[in-house]
Amino acid sequence: MEPKLTDLTPPQGFERLVLAEAPEAGLRALICIHSTALGPAAGGCRMWPYAGDAEAVQDVTRLARGMTYKNAMAGLGLGGGKSVIIGDARRDKTPAMMRAFGQAVEALAGSYYTAEDVGISTADMAEAASRTRYAVGLTGGAHGSGDPSPWTAEGVFRCLRVGAARVFGSEDLAGRRVLVQGLGHVGLSLAEKLHGAGAELVVADINQAAVQDARQRLGAASCAPDEIFAPQVDIFAPCALGGVLTEGSAAQLSARLVCGAANNQLATPAVAETLRKRGITYLPDYVVNAGGIISVASEIHRKDDRWRRDRLAGIAERIAEMLARAEAEGRTTTDIADSMVERMLARSRNAKPQHAQA
């Protein structure tokens, strides 16, 4: 049975918000398209046990908007979208659910490309792909891009070195004390790269097995997940869920540079100004963590590793540009980054024929 798709009223400035339901498969999902001004929307699918629909809507819309900005800054020729499946990935997820989700994506006729995110694996995406042409981040085949995590970690690492050069006068990380919050696929890969560059690691994660592994293999120190702002560090790399930087935590932070893979690290936009006033350089998350979507985009556009590497180099160059502008203009890096994206979107909208905008 085809999933039932119901169009909900999207927030102002968003193009579409769809509720997809297939009760027989246990599927209740939201698909949000923020913008297709630069191309079809692309963004991962997250599975999470939201407390209710309102919380899920808040998350999917916030993430979809972030994908518009991320894809624009990475120069991918893609718009922004996101999807969330409501449920516990460890308990509720089934192959039938993922196939039903794939059918829902297919019904959007190419306006949205999906891929893995929190709670969803490449194997899950393969199930979805059995029902849609618009599931990517797959393994195998001539253009399968596979797990995007290593590309995300590589992009964060490159941007972190650019930030270090600006803040500390050198991109050399030897002896720099770096706290990595979150040791999932991306956080662990980033920690390994930092260790290889000679950084001194402090790690935090609710998964104690991952923490112990980092202690043994990478010589990392560790702290409790609720004490991440206590250690004295040079660099903070948030690689868990979003909202970690609040007004309160920003006031406690000892690091002079923040660069990590987590989405939506700032609890509110005002935190960026708090960090700036404290002399802490924040690298906007949607710029530095674009490596994963770059990998996925290579599958959509049927490009190779060279194309991916060129765009990774491009996001590092954009970080350097926005750092220079932020310092020269006395503005936050987020303000600079947002204004750069808004100009891109405005140029694209203005370039479209009037009948296409109707």
> Which residues make up each annotated binding site for NAD(+)?
182-187
Q: Give the residue carrying structure tokens 């500390």.
A: 168
Residue 40 and residue 68: Cα distance in Å, rounded?
10
Check if the beta carbon of residue 6 is closer than 8 Å to that of residue 21: yes
Residue 226 and residue 182: Cα distance in Å, rounded?
12
Q: Give the residue carrying structure tokens 């609710």.
A: 206
Residue 89 and residue 234: Cα distance in Å, rounded?
35
Residues 6+ apart with CB under 8 A from 330: none
Give which of 244, 353, 292, 346 is closest to 38, Cα–Cα. 346
Give which of 203, 158, 164 is closest to 180, Cα–Cα. 203
In this structure, what token pair is assigned to residue 294? 């770059």
Residue 108 and residue 119: Cα distance in Å, rounded?
23
Check if the beta carbon of residue 83 is closer than 8 Å to that of residue 106: no
Radius of gyration of the chain (CA): 20
Residue 235 and residue 175: Cα distance in Å, rounded?
11
- Is position 303 annotated as part of the catalytic site? no
Give which of 177, 136, 128 is closest to 40, Cα–Cα. 136
Residue 223 and residue 229: Cα distance in Å, rounded?
9
DSSP letter at 316? H
Check if the beta carbon of residue 322 is closer than 8 Å to that of residue 282: no
Task: State the amino acid at position 79 in one-letter form.
Answer: G
Residue 314 and residue 334: Cα distance in Å, rounded?
18
**Coil, strand or helix: which one is 203?**
strand
Which one of 70, 82, 93, 193 is the catalytic residue?
82
In this structure, what token pair is assigned to residue 155? 């992009």
Enumerate the active-site residues: 82
